[in-house]
Amino acid sequence: MKRKVVAKTPVVKLLAKKADIPYAQASFVYDVLMEIIYDELREGTSVILPHIATLGIVNTKSQISHLTGQTIPPHKRLKFKPNIYLAKYVRVNTREYKIK
């Protein structure tokens, strides 16, 4: 399966086309949305993106790497929990065989 990466530019172009707004305005909307998400995560607030996912920062415990044997100190990480709609879409539409 070939992997495809969707960067900011194609997303903004599609947003501008679907919303029928100029590219610069769509880019501004995208930047503001990302800034809001970053600010909320920085403050420790979870961000719910309806029909997509919930984003949040969680604390991890101290762990021992199974690859190197070194201790990894406690730290924070990003948690991405897909919404049931997105999870179901991925499960159904990415299979190599059809579900009957």
Q: Which of 61, 58, 60 is nearest to 44 (CA)?
A: 58
pTM, entire model: 0.73
Q: Tell me which residue has tokens 């044997």.
A: 69
Give the pLDDT score at 36: 95
For 9-44, write each residue's pLDDT tens digit: 999 999 999 999 999 999 999 999 999 999 999 998
Q: Which long-range contacts (CB under 8 A, 24 or more apart) does 55-62 make?
A: 55/79, 55/80, 55/81, 56/81
In the chain, where the domains are located: 1-44, 46-100
